[in-house]
């Protein structure tokens, strides 16, 4: 159950109507309200893709549009969690699907992809939602599984956490 002060914080800058509209437009991404407490903590859209049995990490990244140099492939398949971001950055692995403003990191046996910043460095805008929706379309049909919702925390706006806003 979401507490009243958590709801107040969730809707401090964006209306429930706006967040419901975004949630209905997106299949996999969900809005996350910044928790705060440190510099550069921003609101963002998040998608969670668990590392999947039978699919090497390098193949997962290929499905996401990454161009992985052959020299990095074997290393990538044995690296887990928080090292993914550092490793991909060091090996100059870039995704043709991500574009500017997408960020990715590994954590808890999954790949998290985040989008924000079209309207300002700490905000999510309609433009970010449109770009995230286009990304979803590009990866649909790849046979990937997604964790829904991507988080059990109150700051993830979704039907599971805020069902009262999705009543028809």
Higher pLDDT pick, 36 / 27: 27
- Residue-wise pLDDT tens digits, 108-117: 777 888 887 7
CB-based contacts of 19: which residues, under 8 Å, 6+ apart? 10, 11, 31, 157, 162, 165
Give the pair of three-digit tokens for residue 99: 């574009």
Q: Give pLDDT, residue 37.
A: 63
User: Average pLDDT for residues 50-66, to the nearest whole number?
Assistant: 74
* Tens of pLDDT, residues 75-106: 666 655 444 555 555 444 555 566 556 777 76
Structure confidence by residue, pLDDT tens digits, 129-140: 998 998 899 888
Phi, psi of 42 (to 5 degrees): -125, 155
Q: What is the pTM of this model?
A: 0.81
């Amino acid at each position: 159950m979401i507490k009243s002060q958590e709801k107040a914080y969730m809707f401090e800058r964006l209306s429930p109507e706006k967040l419901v509209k975004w949630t209905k437009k997106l299949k996999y991404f969900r809005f996350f309200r910044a928790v705060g407490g440190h510099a550069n903590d921003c609101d963002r859209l998040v998608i969670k893709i668990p590392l999947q049995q039978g699919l090497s990490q390098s193949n997962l990244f290929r499905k996401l549009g990454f161009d992985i140099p052959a020299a990095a492939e074997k290393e990538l398949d044995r690296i887990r969690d928080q090292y993914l971001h550092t490793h991909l950055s060091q090996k100059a692995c870039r995704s043709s699907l991500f574009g500017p403003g997408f960020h990715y990191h590994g954590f808890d046996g999954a790949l998290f992809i985040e989008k924000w910043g079209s309207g300002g460095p700490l905000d999510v805008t309609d433009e970010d939602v449109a770009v995230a929706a286009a990304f979803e379309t590009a990866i649909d049909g790849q046979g990937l599984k997604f964790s829904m919702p991507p988080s059990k925390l109150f700051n993830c706006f979704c039907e599971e956490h805020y069902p009262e806003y999705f009543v028809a």
